Amino acid sequence: MGFAWSWACDDLWFLAQLFVDPARQGHGIGNALLEDDQRVARSPHSPLRDRRNRK
């Protein structure tokens, strides 16, 4: 169906890979994977800090 791989280093988040089976594309799977990776990266247990919220 789909696969995403990312990691956090200090306060940066890196998306290395995001794949969705071509037969399943266009059904929101890629968006869901990306949103889930970002949610995990922003969790209290992650070293990542959301840079967009800095002032």
4-54: pLDDT as tens digits:
988 877 778 889 999 999 999 999 999 999 999 888 877 766 655 544 444
CB of 18 closer than 8 Å to CB of 38: no
Bridge partner residues of 12 (DSSP) = 9
Q: What is the largest CA-CA distance in the chain?
A: 42
pTM: 0.70
Is the pLDDT reported for residue 2 higher than 70?
Answer: yes
Query: Positive or negative, the Cα torsion across 12, 41, 2, 27?
Result: negative
pLDDT at residue 55 in the model: 43
Strand ranges (DSSP E) for the chain? 2-9, 12-20
